[in-house]
Structure 1
């Protein structure tokens, strides 16, 4: 669970399932994540060999993230979590229940 057991990791990995994304595009898929948390999370995922970070030598720098084979092996789990979440009834956060 340490590999994906944080708030942002499963979500970022899920958004990479269709294919590689540029850093800015990926970050915009999760608007609530701060720049600092995005960077920290992506470094951890790269360290754990779940994704590959590619820097293209252009100006401005073009950084792209893609799932590794190890990261892609999480696809059934990520899709199951997504399906499970879609089946839940909406929660009214204002009522506290």
Structure 2
């Protein structure tokens, strides 16, 4: 077996890394992305210290977690069953109660 067929040439490899900049992944904080964001804050805004940049990155991560939790807890306002006017306005025995909702 020729081993040269298993070796990749350097021209096929990409020099750029694939980085994951999502602050929240599957309901967990992505600490590597938070640190990368803090480092970017320090480089872009020269007045930021590491402490203030980390604080800002964690604030962004907490907001991203709130968005994630909100997107997971969205429920429809009405159940998906077939609703009729009788089921909305009937009393517990199933009779129409003067046209008013009694529940």
Greater relative contact order, per chain length (Cα 8 Å cut-off, separation 6+): 1
TM > 0.5 between the two? Answer: no
Q: Which protein shows a greater Rg?
A: 2
Higher strand share: 1
TM-score by length of 2: 0.24
**TM-score, normalization: structure 1?**
0.25
